[in-house]
Structure 1
Amino acid sequence: MKLKEDMNPLLLQVFRSVVWVYSFITFLPWYLLSGTGASLERGKRVKALSVSGRPGGPYRSVNSVRQLASTLYPGCDTLDKVFEYAKQRFPDRDCLGTREVLSEEDEAQPNGKVFKKVILGDYIWLSYEEAYQAAVQFGSGLAALGQRPQYNIAIFCETRAEWLISAQACFMYNFPLVTLYSTLGGPAIAHGLNETEVTHIITSKDLLQTRLKDILLEVPRLQHIIVVDDKPTTWPGFPRGISVHNMATVQELGAKPENLSKPRRQPLPSDIAVIMYTSGSTGIPKGVMISHSNIIAGITGMAERIPNLGENDTYIGYLPLAHVLELSAELVCVSHGCRIGYSSPQTLADQSTKIKKGSKGDTSVLQPTLMAAVPEIMDRIYKNVMTKVEEMNSVQRTLFVLAYNYKMEQISKGNSTPLCDGLVFRKVRSLLGGKTRVLLSGGAPLSAATQRFMNICFCCPVGQGYGLTETCGAGTISDMWDYSTGRVGAPLVCSEITLKDWEEGGYYSTDKPNPRGEILIGGPNVTMGYYKNEAKNQEDFFVDGNGQRWFCTGDIGEFHPDGCLKIIDRKKDLVKLQAGEYVSLGKVEAILKNCPFIDNICAYANSDESYVIGFIVPNQKQLMALAEQKRIRGSWEEICNNSEMEMEVLEIITEAAIAAKLERFEIPRKIRLSAEPWTPETGLVTDAFKLKRKELKTHYQDDIERMYGGK
């Protein structure tokens, strides 16, 4: 995606001449010293092969053609052994870090709303030895409170150091850990707790008061609530039979010699480590049973794809730990001696909503080298930066665009651009602390435009990954030397992938030039199935003649000649219109989401109708500017509800759809602008910001009827 240049032709020529002279002088010594030629060849090499010789696979990484990898270190076949290995190897190394809260204050906004702002200090660190001992004592304390091996225990908590310490404690003492998203609604939380029959739950003060307290009477087996916060120490007003404890007091109980000396029943590789409730884009959440060996295989595959991973790395943890992407990423880091500094989406950057103006966000203080993100967050960064570029004066904007296009051309050749990085992109890169060397994207497809933007402006590779809770998050991750876009890379060394024909959608493994079909993932990372849901297990999982377990993803992919996978469709997103045309709603959304007027979009089609409609969360800055241009006045809600504005935006996205070569029947014919953003808290998207189509349909039912002529 080249950016448009709009500057005096003479000045453009002068700039290009300077760049050419600089490139000419520096190219040969830089090329010889940097090893770029080898990196370019590595990026182009074949990364996976069909081990059967058939075009549809199964495909394996060239590094695991003979045998799939399943363990990180010899003898470390359960998660407690992996943590113990890390503790012995990196005892004094910083392990888990939390920023000190110096002060909190309420700040009134112009619209009358009050936001809580915080001023944070430095990170306070636990070493690997200290984190290990904290986990041992907490596990011992849970056992003293009556928690038994192989009986489920739940965690319902925000991402923080105490979450990972609690998880490690449960792994050590063989307590299967039930994970629940902190944004789930009351009925979903109660369903998960009752289905898994938990008697003990680990939570935070905020979630206990705002989410958990209201449903306690609906969870009759619950006996003990452990709150990770230090204060308060007494908890009045809870139903009879429920005891509330602080994490620190449970650790003190566990540290008593009579409790600590009791032998613990260590897990087997086949024992359940986690029952992870998916946020669920449809229906009630399902619990995925993940064994110790599943997780270890998954993190073995992830670790192989991150170059030079080790104790010099710092990872920033802020995504939900109840999501398989974040849990896997943090366990990978712990297994390699990295530091993990904790954050949240509200305190991540200097401009984040809870950071007081003039004070530092978490990335500025921590300066992470590794970071994971979902596409929604990357898309937001991309649009914010590009909006600021549009606001620059003509000279600044053109210099940025020239540098952007020059760097895009250079990285496609495998070359780096230290001058552009230092002079032009340094300020953008500082948004993430300035030291990021690898960005990992997962949870949903990342647009080519956003991926290229992150490559260029943050001066680091973006490893786009593909995996599911049912495969421990492991499936593929793109090679760090591969700067192509729109692909998710080759299979990890722990998994293999085959493509199954899908006749209804017209995808076949014999398709030319590339085999296409439903993605099936096999390997030791494929999980044990859904908790108490045998019918769904029979539908989605199977074991082949060699005893290997497989998961049917429902996603449609194609393999390129170098063994890299591209996600091109999804079975559940396919809708047949009245005239017989098939529309992929995900494809329509992925293309239109790049439009600057759109922050989020949900395409919808009814099989009884002949056209597609859409619900759109518009970009406020772009829409207000358009309203001013059209002399339409009013509040944000009034602008979004204005039928003339709907028509204006529809015209803009129609042009974008035609330019992207969407078919006539794929282009939304009517739209609804939503003044309300879609967040996990609204229940309209998952914690990974995937659309919840069922909930969106219910939410906009009146608009659906209106747009289809019912009202």
Structure 2
Amino acid sequence: MHYSVCLKTRCPKLVSNPVPPSAPQPESAVAQQINKMAALSLEAPGTTEGARISIHSEGKGLYGVTNPERTLPDLFEEGRKVTGDGNFLGTTQGEGYTFVSYNEADTIRKQIGSALIFRGLEKNSMVGISSQNTAEWSLLSLGCDVQAMTMVPLYDTLGEEGVKYILNQCGLTVLFAHPKTLKSYLSYLPETQTVKLLVKLPSPDIKECTPEELKAAEEHGVDLVTWDQFVQTGKDNPVEPNFPTPDDVCTLCYTSGTTGFPKGAMLTHRNLVAATVSVMTQLGDCVMKKDDVHVSYLPASHIFERLVQTSMILVGASIGFWEGDVKKLAINMQALKPSFFPAVPRILNRLYDKVMTEVGASKLKSALFNFALNSKMKGVEAGYVTKSSMWDYVIFKKIQNMLGGNIRVIAVGAAPIKPQILQFFRAALGASVFEGYGQTECCGACTVTHYSDHSVGHVGGVLDTCQIKLMSVEEMGYLASENKGEVCIKGINVFKGYYKNEEKTKETVDEDGWLHTGDIGEWTEDWALRIIDRKKNIFKLSQGEYIAPEKIELLYDRSPLVGQCMIYGHSLKSNLVAIVVPDELATASWADSKGIKGSYEELCKTDDLKDEIVKQVNEKGRAGGLKSFEFAKKIHLSHEPFTVENDLTTPTFKLKRHNIVKYYKEEIDTIYEGLD
């Protein structure tokens, strides 16, 4: 048993969640500090701009991060000292997991570093990789760190032109590729003149190079070897480590963006270490520990997953990799039994829909489930999170077992999540759910909800690696004097700049070192950050009114029947329209209640569903204080969701507005008829 804190009353509340034996009792020092300060972030000392810093920075200067001089190899050594031969990287073929220990990984990382040196690379050289999450991916990252080299992850959604652009911009000479992507990279060789060595990564059923692959590589003067051959080279030709300094770049993290070529954010060891430690500080009693197990399925090429893995390494915890098939994720989790589950809203939405569909199949089951859920929800809202209630054993055990039965912490990032879904998982799984905010350019995180805070509707307090201020955006009506404005970040976690792109760097980071995120935020009464809009997507209607579409979309998304929504307006038009993807589960329930028959696709074509959605979004708009010109006057319903696969969202699920408008041009033209 340990004490949590209700941030509304600042009163400790008894919780039956298991915590590390070392957790302070009855109330942690951090919780006492929150009670004392009654705030989730503090005013930065000496500021005249309203900047705020972490509650953990009090008495420690502007930033409270402990020892920011450490590097990623230092963090690995700390984890290895904790566990040594303990489980580190786990792989599976559908049944149990086989692990490489920390000590074994130490040997392999040095062999990888030696092999890179033997192949002619030097300190600060760049090494490319294109692969799903695997043990080899993480081992290569560790190997690059041993010799102070920079890892450059590539991923499918960059597109062919984007990948070629990166290969040429970085001048990559060594590239590691998964069997599924190797064929594509062999075809790129004529247009990428720098690659000299291709390493074929292993998969469960493929380890050797085929004659066709070897022939294609030879035709372009490229050496193609297997992963085992490459590592053996390092084993036969050992080289002493040449560890990095904190300001060496550990990775170029390319952001796909919504338009133009990708930009390579240069992240240093200091950036990633500081971000890692500051997030762990915010997690308090729920922080990762040696016995934790992390399921790795979110793309390792993105900073969110990288941040989680680094945190696990620091404490000597285990990382198990999925098989790369979303249909097998639940099976992998049941075999791995992870305790730490990072998630994006899209994944949690699917799990939620699956559970509610099964429950809705029986009226008796639905009534009992909702009674149990409401009971646990009341506890969550009061500050209690537990998995040892009667309802957990009778009702929620099956849901918990779907994810392995051992989930202790869920970390949510990359996009907004509906409050009711976040609270659902706190109740149903009896797990602590944290929501964070950040972007690649600030190493993935600048705020995280506090471990004692079970409220919703915000992304937490400032981390002790940075300070945040809100800058007025007058044309949108957001004023810093009213605690609203563009979110700007300065600190140890802010990136070094975009690789070979000084123009974009200057557009993003001002002369005083403030990173301009383009997001609009506001401070809550508890001085937590709430994201309410997006600056870069504003446009003007024909009557001169500025429109912030994301503000409207956030309100519309709260409608039960709305799954996804994009607001569109044209400078020659005076009205807004919307493309709406109805929520499939909610649509089915609505149709059943109305006695309307038809498939989901058929229902999306009916006026009845459209009228109901218009009614719901208008109610949300009025409740949210939208002005008359901010309402969508007409909508088009689409049964096809906006996804990465159809290129209508980025890998972090931001809308690609230009692509959506192009994709739905005919429908938009149609619904505009008769409006202006």
Shorter-chain TM-score bucket reads 0.7 to 0.9
Residue equivalent to 1:305: 282
Summarize deviations over 1:319-342 as a string: whole Å, max 9, x none: 001111110110111011111111
1:403 aligns with 2:372: yes
Whether the aligned pair in 1 keeps the contact of 2:296 and 2:322 (CA below 8 Å) is yes
Partners of 1:218 and 1:184 in 2: CA distance = 16
Change (3 A) 1:82 1:622: closer
Q: Is the 8 A contact 1:69 1:301 kept in 2?
A: no
CA contact (8 A) 2:476 2:548 kept: no
Deviations 1:344-363 (A, max 9, x none): 6734xxxxx247xxxx6112
Distance 2:614 2:142 in 1: 51
Q: Secondary structure at the residue paired with 1:183?
A: helix
Aligned partner of residue 263 in structure 1, secondary structure: coil
Deviation sequence 1:247-274 (CA, Å, 0-9, x none): 1110011100xx20x3343222111111
User: Aligned partners of 1:30 and 1:620: how far apart in 2?
Assistant: 36
Number of the residue aligned with 1:251: 231
Query: In 2, distance between residues paired with 1:153 and 1:582?
Result: 45
Cα distance in 2 for residues equivalent to 1:89 and 1:411:
34
* Aligned position for 1:316: 295
Report the Cα distance in structure 2 between the residues aligned to 1:167 and 1:425, rounded to whole angstroms. 39
Q: Deviations for 1:218-237, whole angstroms, at most 9, x for unmatched residues?
A: 21111111121152234333
CA drift of 1:92 comes to 0.9
Q: 1:283 to 1:703 in 2, by over 3 A?
A: farther
Deviations 1:413-438 (A, max 9, x none): 23356223333322222222222111
Matching residue within 123, 132, 135 for 1:161: 135
In 1: Cα distance, 2:127 partner to 2:474 partner: 43
Relative to structure 1, the CA distance from residue 704 to residue 37 in structure 2 (aligned partners, 3 Å threshold; closer, same or farther) is same
Following superposition of structure 1 onto structure 2, how do residues 264-663 of structure 1 map, counting pairs within 5 Å?
264-306=241-283, 307=285, 308-343=287-322, 346-347=325-326, 353-354=327-328, 361-393=331-363, 395-416=364-385, 418-511=389-482, 515-544=483-512, 549-623=513-587, 640=604, 646=610, 649-651=613-615, 653-655=617-619, 657-658=621-622, 662-663=626-627
Once the two structures are superposed, residues 158-207 of structure 1 have per-residue CA deviations (whole angstroms, 9 ceiling, x without a partner) of 11211111111111112211122233210111111111111111110001
C-alpha deviation, 1:451, in angstroms: 1.6
Distance 1:676 1:133 in 2: 48
Match of 1:682, SS state, is coil
The 1-side partners of 2:597 and 2:537 are apart by 37
2:576 touches 2:634 (CA, 8 Å); kept in 1? yes
User: Are the aligned partners of 2:380 and 2:423 in contact in 1 as well (CA < 8 Å)?
Assistant: no
d(CA) in 1 for partners of 2:445 and 2:102?
26
- CA–CA distance in structure 1, aligned partners of residues 134 and 177 of structure 2: 11
Q: Is the 8 A contact 1:55 1:509 kept in 2?
A: no
Q: What SS does structure 2 have at the residue aligned with 1:382?
A: helix
2:99 to 113, 125, 138: 125
Answering whether residue 201 of structure 2 is matched by residue 222 of structure 1, we say: no
- Contact conserved, 1:68 with 1:523, CA < 8 A, in 2? no
Aligned residue number for residue 9 of structure 2: none
| Number of the residue aligned with 1:232 | 208
CA contact (8 A) 2:53 2:63 kept: no
Partner residue of 1:151 out of 125, 135, 147: 125
Contact 1:272–1:290 (Cα < 8 Å) also in 2: yes
User: Separation in 2 of the partners of 1:29 and 1:127?
Assistant: 37
Structure 2, unaligned stretches of length 5 or more?
1-12, 20-24
Change (3 A) 1:321 1:172: same
Following superposition, the deviation at residue 703 of structure 1 comes to: 2.2
SS in 2 for 1:530: coil
Instruction: For residue 681 of structure 1, give the secondary structure of its aligned residue in structure 2.
Output: coil
Deviation digits for residues 300-337 of structure 1 (CA, Å, limit 9, x no counterpart): 11121223421011111110011111101101110111
What is the alpha-carbon root mean square deviation over aligned residues?
Answer: 3.0
Tell me what 2:3 maps to: none
TM-aligned CA distance change 1:600 to 1:55, over 3 Å: farther
Q: CA deviation at 1:564?
A: 1.3
Change (3 A) 1:631 1:216: farther
Note the residue ranges of structure 1 that are not aligned, 5 or more in a row. 1-27, 102-119, 348-352
Does the alignment pair 1:47 with 2:11? no
Counterpart CA distance in 1 for 2:53 and 2:44 is: 7
CA contact (8 A) 2:78 2:315 kept: no
Correspondent of 2:80 among 87, 93, 101: 87
CA contact (8 A) 1:181 1:279 kept: no
CA distance in 1, matches of 2:144, 2:668: 47
Equivalent residue runs for 1:63-142 within 5 Å: 63-65=56-58, 66-69=60-63, 77-99=70-92, 101=93, 120-142=94-116
Q: Is the 8 A contact 2:385 2:431 kept in 1?
A: no
Q: Is 1:213 matched up with 2:181?
A: no
Amino acid at match of 1:541: V
Percent of residue pairs identical:
32
- The secondary structure found in structure 2 opposite 1:504 is helix
The 3-state SS of whatever aligns with 1:185 is: helix
Q: Any conservation in 2 of the 1:278–1:285 contact (CA below 8 Å)?
A: yes
Aligned mates of 1:586, 1:317 — CA distance in 2? 30
Structure-2 separation of matches of 1:403 and 1:53: 50
For residues 601 and 45 of structure 2, the distance between their equivalents in structure 1, rounded to whole angstroms, comes to 57
> Secondary structure at 1:294's aligned position in 2?
helix
CA distance in 1, matches of 2:251, 2:324: 25
Aligned mates of 1:222, 1:343 — CA distance in 2 = 29
Query: What are the Cα deviations for residues 536-573 of structure 1, in whole angstroms up to 9, with x where unaligned?
Result: 111211353xxxx4311111112234331111111023
2: CA distance, partners of 1:195 / 1:227: 22
Residue in 2 aligned with 1:21? none
**Greater displacement, 272-281 / 424-433:** 424-433
Deviations 1:78-133 (A, max 9, x none): 2122223322332111011111x2xxxxxxxxxxxxxxxxxx11011010011121
Structure-1-length-normalised TM-score: 0.84
Aligned partners of 2:66 and 2:106: how far apart in 1?
19
Distance 1:594 1:392, change over 3 A: farther
Cα distance in 2, alignment partners of residues 192 and 128 from structure 1: 32
Q: CA deviation at 1:629?
A: 8.4
Maintained 8 Å contact 2:521/2:529: yes
Report the Cα offset of residue 450 of structure 1: 1.7
2:240 to 241, 256, 263: 263
Partners of 1:50 and 1:56 within 8 A in 2: no
Contact (CA 8 Å) 1:640, 1:646: kept in 2 or not?
Answer: yes
Distance 1:560 1:616, change over 3 A: closer
Report the CA distance between 1:55 and its aligned residue: 8.6
Structure-2 change in CA distance of 1:408 and 1:645 (3 Å): closer
1:648-668: CA deviation from partner (whole Å, max 9, x where unpaired): 654554455456664443332
| C-alpha contact 1:59 1:496 (8 A) present in aligned 2 | yes
Letter in 2 for 1:528: K
